[in-house]
Amino acid sequence: MTARDGEQPAIRRDVPRAIHAQISEHIRRHIAAGEWPAHYRLRSEPELAAEYGVSRGTIRRALATLIEEGLLRQVRGRGTFVTSTTIEPAIAQKLSTLSEDFAGQGVVTFTEVLECVLISPPRPVAALLDLPAEARVLRLVRLRSTVDGPVALLHNFVRADVAPGIERVDFTQSSLFGVLEDTYGLRIDTARRTFSAEAASPEVASALGLDAGAPVQYLQQVTYLEDDRPVEYSDVWIHSGRLHLTSLLQRR
């Protein structure tokens, strides 16, 4: 673990192996164990250098090795992230929610809240939200439907430290982003979204009125505040027969 997790990284200076190679291997183990999942953002170079007790040059060399291996990628102005095992085209689009999109198109929707409780975050979620294991997050599970039937199952995990009391909000009537922005005064700035196709699990199939194994659109998202803190992680499964995702793209 890194110092973020309460344990100092073990660097051996009495062995012939180069320190930058030890750091690369240390990070590689975190990724292989799933402790640092896809899209996990590493600490900044100065913070990593302080954690490992080495120079920034040593950290850069260690990160460069993992970037060459395809395990990490750097985004200018954003930081260094663990890569996904799938190909992800960079699709620029407005950061809006399903409820906002439906409202903008005049589509009437109904929201059923299946779960709204504070929990200790699962390990991958804690990593993506930059939280210690003992932290608390809101687990919000909702089913969104139109007159034609269920269209999306949403699992959201929200940092409770920046939104105390959020578990008492009535999310059948309120949108998550609206509550974070209007009630708690948080400024949502960016998000990283990944789209893929999946076979519906029994839980997803039951919620969306599909046969188990039927194809669904899957959306994974990490949302960041204006100060660059991650605030929310979500898994969304979409009924492909009732909702189509369309992007308006501009070449330049």
* Identity of the residue numbered 160: A
Indicate if 175 and 132 belong to the same structural domain: yes
pLDDT at 10: 66
Give the helix, strand, coil percentages of the chain, each rounded to 5: 30, 30, 45
- Please list, in sequence order, all residues whose beta carbon lies within 8 angstroms of the beta carbon of residue 235, skipping any fewer than 6 positions away: 154, 155, 218, 219, 220
Indicate if 130 and 197 belong to the same structural domain: yes
pLDDT at 107: 60
Indicate if 45 and 160 belong to the same structural domain: no
Indicate if 77 and 109 belong to the same structural domain: no
Indicate if 45 and 10 belong to the same structural domain: yes
Number of structural domains in the chain: 2
Strands (E), the chain: 72-75, 79-82, 110-119, 137-146, 149-159, 188-199, 215-225, 230-238
Counted residue by residue, the chain has a size of 252
Indicate if 196 and 126 belong to the same structural domain: yes
User: Domain containing 54 — which CATH number?
Assistant: 1.10.10.10
User: Domain containing 190 — which CATH number?
Assistant: 3.40.1410.10
Residue finishing a domain among 53, 82, 111: 82
Q: d(Cα 57, Cα 218) in Å, to the nearest integer?
A: 39
pLDDT at 96: 60
Residue finishing a domain among 82, 115, 131: 82
Indicate if 196 and 147 belong to the same structural domain: yes
Helices 56-68 and 19-32 pack at an angle, to 10 degrees, of 50
List C-alpha distances in Å: 69 to 25, 26, 144, 210, 250. Answer: 12, 14, 40, 40, 31
User: Contact at 8 Å (CB) between 184 and 90?
Assistant: no
State both tokens at 64.
Answer: 């460069």
User: Contact at 8 Å (CB) between 78 and 109?
Assistant: no
Q: What secondary structure, in 3-state letters, does 98-137 show?
A: HHHHHHHCCCCCEEEEEEEEEECCCHHHHHHCCCCCCCCE
Residue finishing a domain among 82, 106, 123: 82
Indicate if 111 and 17 belong to the same structural domain: no
Q: d(Cα 112, Cα 179) in Å, to the nearest integer?
A: 17
Q: Is residue 248 part of a domain?
A: no
pLDDT at 129: 94
| Domain around 133 | 98-238
Helix (H, G, I), strand (E, B) or coil at 88: coil
Q: Is residue 212 part of a domain?
A: yes
Indicate if 74 and 120 belong to the same structural domain: no
User: Contact at 8 Å (CB) between 30 and 36?
Assistant: yes
Q: Is residue 45 part of a domain?
A: yes
10-residue stretch averages of pLDDT, the chain, 252 residues long:
48 79 88 83 91 92 89 86 61 55 64 96 92 93 90 95 96 91 92 88 95 92 91 92 62 53
pTM: 0.68
pLDDT at 251: 52
pLDDT at 136: 96
Indicate if 166 and 215 belong to the same structural domain: yes
Q: Is residue 119 part of a domain?
A: yes
Indicate if 180 and 213 belong to the same structural domain: yes
